[in-house]
Structure 1
Amino acid sequence: MVESVIEIEVVYAAVDRQVLRTVSVAEGITVREALLRSGIGDEFQELDLAACPVGIFGKVIADPQVRLIQAGDRIEIYRPLLADPKEVRRLRAAKAAAAKAREQ
């Protein structure tokens, strides 16, 4: 029996660069298997593709070892945030308030 092949995208944004790769894989494989077959781990040695958090079109996948991919899926590999967004906003607001107080 001939195996169906589908196309998906794998996306990763490192600190210094971003990669979007179109990959042809067998239909019926899991998200984690697709990541491993994409070859993106060879390009980014720091990635642990067996354990890193991933999502499809911005929605986190709770169990990528079980979730099957579909044609056209974009698998996104997530990395830890460098700074807490709430803290960054708080610091920016405090800096703006201090600048405004100096102007008056």
Structure 2
Amino acid sequence: MIRIEIAVLDAGVVRCRTLDLPAGSTVQEALVAAGIDAQGRGLAVFGHAVPAERVLRSGERIEVLGPLTADPKLARMQRVQRSREAQQAKRDAARRVTQRG
């Protein structure tokens, strides 16, 4: 027997559950045993994406991930833009200080 944990993110709330399963159980078998429908959701073990067929080891935590709330490429572009704007504001402020002095 192996003991694993399943963490499910639903509407911003994480629900955790511990299960005892036969050795050699897969992620999919653990989800079925827990009664969790992970259709269309990402699966991870300790933060690393895994397929449903992955065999589990005792002590591992399966994470059933929520859907993406933003396009990753767009979110990165927005972060870069905010960073550039902040850097430009710092340069402008420093320029104003040196012009006064």
TM-score between both structures, scaled by the size of structure 2: 0.67
Question: Alignment partner for residue 79 of structure 2, among 76, 89, 94?
Answer: 89
Distance 2:32 2:82 in 1: 40
1:1-104 equivalences under 5 Å are 5-39=1-35, 41=36, 48-61=37-50, 63-64=51-52, 66-83=53-70, 84=72, 85-90=75-80, 92-93=82-83, 96=86
CA shift in 2, pair 1:60/1:16, >3 Å: closer
Distance 2:28 2:8 in 1: 14
| 1:93, distance to aligned residue in structure 2 (A) | 3.3
Dislocated runs of 4+, deviation >4 Å? 94-101
Identity level (%): 31
| 1:71, distance to aligned residue in structure 2 (A) | 0.4
| 1:6, distance to aligned residue in structure 2 (A) | 1.5
Alignment RMSD (CA, Å) = 2.5
| 1:16, distance to aligned residue in structure 2 (A) | 2.8
Task: Give unpaired runs (5+ residues) of structure 2.
Answer: 97-101
Contact 1:36 1:49 in 2 (8 A): no
- Which structure carries more helix by proportion? 2
Largest Rg, 1 or 2: 2
